[in-house]
Structure 1
Amino acid sequence: MGYVSIWPILVLAFIHFFGSRLRFLAGIPRSTWLSGASGVSVAYVFIHLFPELHQGQMHMEENVVWAEKFLEHHVYLVALIGMSVFYGLERSVVSAKRKQIKRDQGESKSPKGVFWLHIGSFALYNALIGYILFQREEEPTQTVILFTIAMALHFLVNDFGMLEHHRGNYKKYGRWVLVLALIIGWTVGYVKEVSETIVVILTAFIGGGVILNVLKEELPEERESRYWAFVLGALLYAILLLSL
Structure 2
Amino acid sequence: MFWNTLLYIIGFVLIHLFSKNMKFLDVVPRSRFLSGVGGISVAYVFLHLLPELGHFQQDLEGELGESAWGFIESHIYLMAMMGLAIFYGLEVMVKKSKKKRGRKPQAGAGVFWLHIGTFILYNSLIGYLLVHDQFENRWGMFFYFVAMGLHFITIDKSLRSTHEKDYDKYGRWLLTTAIIIGWLVGILTEVREVVVSFLVALLAGGVILNVMKEELPEERESSFLSFAIGMLAYSVLWLLI
**Would you call these one fold, judging by a TM-score over 0.5?**
yes
What is the one-letter code of the residue matched to 2:57?
Q
Query: Residue 80 of structure 1 aligns with which residue?
Result: 81
| Identical positions, percent | 46
Which amino acid counterpart does residue 175 of structure 1 have in structure 2?
Answer: R
AA at the equivalent of 2:230: G
**2: CA distance, partners of 1:76 / 1:46:** 12
Report the alpha carbon displacement of residue 117 of structure 1 after superposing the two structures with TM: 2.2
Query: Which amino acid in 2 is paired with 1:150?
Result: A
**Match in the other structure for 2:223:** 226
- Give the CA deviation at 1:214: 0.6
Match of 1:97 in 2: 98
Q: Which runs of 5+ in 2 are unaligned?
A: none
Contact 2:84 2:208 in 1 (8 A): yes
Aligned to 2:201: 204
Please provide the CA RMSD for this pair: 2.0
Once the two structures are superposed, residues 198-239 of structure 1 have per-residue CA deviations (whole angstroms, 9 ceiling, x without a partner) of 222221111111111111111111111111111111111111
Question: 1:34-183 maps to which residues of 2 (within 5 A)?
Answer: 34-66=34-66, 70-71=71-72, 73-101=74-102, 106-136=103-133, 140-183=137-180
**CA distance in 2: counterparts of 1:153 and 1:241, whole angstroms:** 16
Amino acid of the residue matched to residue 98 of structure 1? K
Say whether the 8 Å CA contact 1:130–1:186 is kept in structure 2: yes
The answer to whether the 8 Å contact 1:132/1:202 transfers is: no
Q: CA deviation at 1:51?
A: 1.3
Instruction: Tell me if structure 2 keeps the 8 A contact 1:93–1:117.
Output: no
**Are residues 113 and 62 of structure 1, via their aligned partners in 2, closer, same or farther at CA, if it must alter by over 3 Å?**
closer
Question: Per-residue deviation at 1:195?
Answer: 2.2
Distance verdict in 2 for CA 1:157–1:209, change over 3 Å:
same
4+ aligned runs moved over 4 Å, structure 1: 66-69
Contact 2:98-2:104 at 8 Å conserved across structures = no
- Name which of structure 1's ranges 147-156 and 222-231 shifts more when overlaid on structure 2: 222-231
Q: CA deviation at 1:73?
A: 3.5
- Give the direction of change, closer, same or farther, for the CA distance of 1:26–1:65 in structure 2 (3 Å limit): same
TM-score (norm 2): 0.91
Greater displacement, 87-96 / 4-13:
4-13
Aligned length: 239
Partner of 1:23: 23
- Give the whole-Å Cα distance in 2 for the aligned partners of 1:211 and 1:137: 21
Distance 1:197 1:117 in 2: 25
Counterpart contact for 1:126–1:181, Cα < 8 Å: yes
Distance 1:187 1:243 in 2: 31
